[in-house]
């Protein structure tokens, strides 16, 4: 028995190869399946391959090149094939790397529903990818929301920066958006300040966003940080003009026995420009609700007009959490990983960064993970500090979304 086992181990060791000791170089790189795409747009994918000096580096750089081509947003599917070089110019240890891709269709369409940020919406989208052959795309989107303004958006975007070799890099995005935004009345008794802004409005804006995410999980992180900043300038045409900036951050730190401490914060500012003397209500920040300030109703911790929340030009909110797994989670195994319990403390305010008149709340709750992207919370909230104009939610509060404070 012992002899047979040791013989098997020796055979396995004999079949192990160190690929870094196999001399190799790439003589040629082919990218097949290019119909509308220009060759110069995919040439950067081959730069790392020609620097490889052994077979391990060839395989590693091939996977990097495949990821790079995926990031360009022009292929529906792509595969890698490595073969020895052929022909008169082939090197003794040369290889050819071929990427076989299938480009996206000329027109893509989708219809679906979205549930997030404590609201539901019906969304349709029509996209023309790789419009000019270098990753340009244009899309027409329409959405009907249950709570916020309905809109129609026309977007054009193009990828400029491909930094696949940088580790822990932030994601940058520059977008132009043209949209028709309409504020509709959902009830008969609506203050005149809101009625005056009803009707369709044309928005033309530039948006820059930065996302730096080092969390080990986007829903229930146990370690890492996340920073997200979105800046908009609206006024490149149309009849809406404003400048806005919103920053959201999270820091998670593991403690003991699966308990995680988390600190969250969000700051939002929107200001009018010289082209207008008011800011549309749909662009103001609503402070209060399960996603921003628990223990208060949606928009219930902000300014109101005749009892109706209208939003604020500036607001901030913070959250302190202690997350823990379910009791006896070892028994339920993977199913229990979709749940977390937490104790939280929220604080926030609007139209000032002072803490003199801030609102606060405390509570406990249960959270459920939705498809590695969003989560559902059922919390029992106790407002600790509030004012006469606030709309409180003392007791159980339900929330669904992908960014909580």
105-159 domain in CATH 3.30.1300.30? yes
Tokens 């109703």 sit on residue: 297
Distance separating alpha carbons of residues 258 and 176, to the nearest angstrom: 43
8 A C-beta contact, residue 263 and residue 320: yes
Distance separating alpha carbons of residues 47 and 45, to the nearest angstrom: 6
**How many CB atoms sit inside 10 A of residue 218's CB?**
17
pTM of the model: 0.69
DSSP 292-331: TBTTB-TTTTS-EETTEE--BSEEEEEEEEEEEPPTTHHH
8 A C-beta contact, residue 306 and residue 190: no
Q: Where in the chain is the domain with CATH 3.30.1300.30?
A: 105-159
The pLDDT assigned to 343 comes to 94
Q: Where in the chain is the domain with CATH 3.10.20.310?
A: 19-103
Calculate the dihedral angle through the C-alpha atoms of 113, 116, 121, 122, rounding to the nearest 10 degrees.
Answer: -20
First to last CA, the chain: 61
Residue 106, C-beta contacts closer than 8 angstroms, at least 6 positions apart: 36, 128, 129
CATH number of 19-103: 3.10.20.310
| Residue length of the chain | 405
Of 377, 319, 323, 322, nearest to 348 by C-alpha is 319
For the domain made up of 170-401, give the CATH fold.
Porin (2.40.160)
Distance separating alpha carbons of residues 28 and 90, to the nearest angstrom: 9
3-class DSSP state of 260: strand
- The continuous run of DSSP H or E covering 35 comes out as none
3-class DSSP state of 39: helix
What does the block give as tokens for 231? Answer: 């800046």
Q: What is the DSSP letter of 21?
A: G
Residue 133, C-beta contacts closer than 8 angstroms, at least 6 positions apart: 36, 37, 38, 41
- The continuous run of DSSP H or E covering 195 comes out as helix 192-195
Q: What residues does 94 pair with on adjacent strands?
A: 25
DSSP 83-113: EE--STT--TTEEEEEEEEEEPPS-EEEEEE
Tens-binned pLDDT, residue by residue, of the chain (405 aa)? 445 555 554 555 556 677 777 888 888 888 888 888 888 788 877 888 888 888 888 888 888 888 888 877 788 888 888 888 887 788 888 888 888 888 888 888 877 766 555 566 677 888 888 888 888 888 887 777 665 556 667 777 776 655 444 456 777 788 888 777 777 766 677 788 778 778 788 888 889 899 898 888 888 999 999 999 999 998 888 888 899 999 999 999 999 888 999 999 999 999 988 777 778 888 888 888 888 899 998 888 888 888 788 888 899 999 999 999 888 767 777 777 888 999 999 999 988 888 888 899 999 999 998 877 888 899 999 999 988 888 888 999 998 888 888
The pLDDT assigned to 252 comes to 94
Instruction: Please give the backbone phi and psi of residue 175, each rounded to the nearest 5 degrees, phi first.
Output: -130, 150
**How many CB atoms sit inside 10 A of residue 192's CB?**
8
Q: Where in the chain is the domain with CATH 2.40.160.50?
A: 170-401
Tokens 């109706």 sit on residue: 308
Pairing of strands 395-401, 359-370: unpaired
Of 284, 259, 266, nearest to 183 by C-alpha is 284
- The continuous run of DSSP H or E covering 263 comes out as strand 260-271
Distance separating alpha carbons of residues 1 and 233, to the nearest angstrom: 76
8 A C-beta contact, residue 98 and residue 32: yes
**Sign of the torsion formed by the C-alpha atoms of 209, 212, 216 and 221:** negative
The pLDDT assigned to 2 comes to 47
Q: What residues does 398 pair with on adjacent strands?
A: 378
């Amino acid at each position: 028995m012992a002899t047979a086992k040791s013989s098997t181990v020796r055979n396995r060791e004999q079949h192990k190869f160190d690929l870094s000791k196999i001399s190799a170089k790439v003589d040629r790189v082919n990218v097949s399946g290019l119909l509308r795409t220009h060759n110069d747009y995919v040439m950067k994918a081959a730069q790392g391959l020609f620097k490889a000096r052994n077979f391990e580096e060839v395989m590693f750089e091939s996977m990097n090149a495949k990821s790079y081509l995926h990031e360009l947003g022009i292929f529906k599917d792509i595969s890698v094939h490595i073969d020895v070089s052929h022909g008169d110019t082939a090197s003794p240890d040369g290889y050819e790397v071929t990427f076989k891709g299938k480009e996206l269709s000329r027109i893509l369409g989708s219809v679906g529903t979205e549930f997030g940020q404590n609201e539901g919406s019906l969304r349709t989208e029509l996209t023309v990818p790789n419009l000019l052959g270098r990753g340009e795309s244009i899309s027409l989107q329409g959405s009907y929301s249950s709570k916020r303004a309905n809109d129609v958006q026309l977007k054009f975007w193009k990828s400029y920066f491909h930094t696949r070799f940088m580790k822990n890099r932030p994601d940058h995005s520059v977008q132009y958006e043209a949209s028709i935004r309409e504020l509709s009345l959902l009830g008969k008794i609506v203050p005149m300040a809101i009625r005056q802004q009803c009707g369709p409005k044309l928005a033309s804006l530039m948006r820059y966003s930065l996302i730096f995410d080092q969390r080990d999980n986007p829903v229930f992180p146990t370690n890492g940080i996340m920073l997200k900043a979105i800046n908009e300038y609206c006024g490149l045409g149309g009849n809406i003009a404003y400048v806005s900036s919103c920053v959201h951050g999270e820091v998670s730190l593991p403690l003991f026995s699966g308990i995680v401490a988390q600190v969250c914060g969000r700051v939002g500012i929107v200001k009018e420009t010289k082209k207008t003397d008011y800011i549309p209500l749909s662009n103001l920040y609503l402070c209060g609700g399960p996603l921003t300030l628990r223990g208060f109703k949606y928009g219930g911790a902000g300014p109101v007009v005749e009892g109706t929340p209208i939003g604020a030009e500036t607001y901030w909110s913070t959250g302190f959490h202690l997350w823990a797994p379910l009791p006896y989670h070892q028994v339920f195994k993977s199913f229990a990983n979709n749940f977390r319990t937490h104790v939280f403390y929220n604080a926030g305010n609007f139209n000032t960064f002072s803490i003199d008149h801030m609102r606060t709340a405390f509570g406990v709750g249960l959270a459920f993970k939705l498809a590695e992207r969003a989560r559902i919370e059922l919390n029992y909230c106790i407002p600790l500090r509030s004012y006469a104009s606030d709309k409180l939610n003392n007791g159980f509060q339900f929330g669904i979304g992908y960014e909580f404070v």
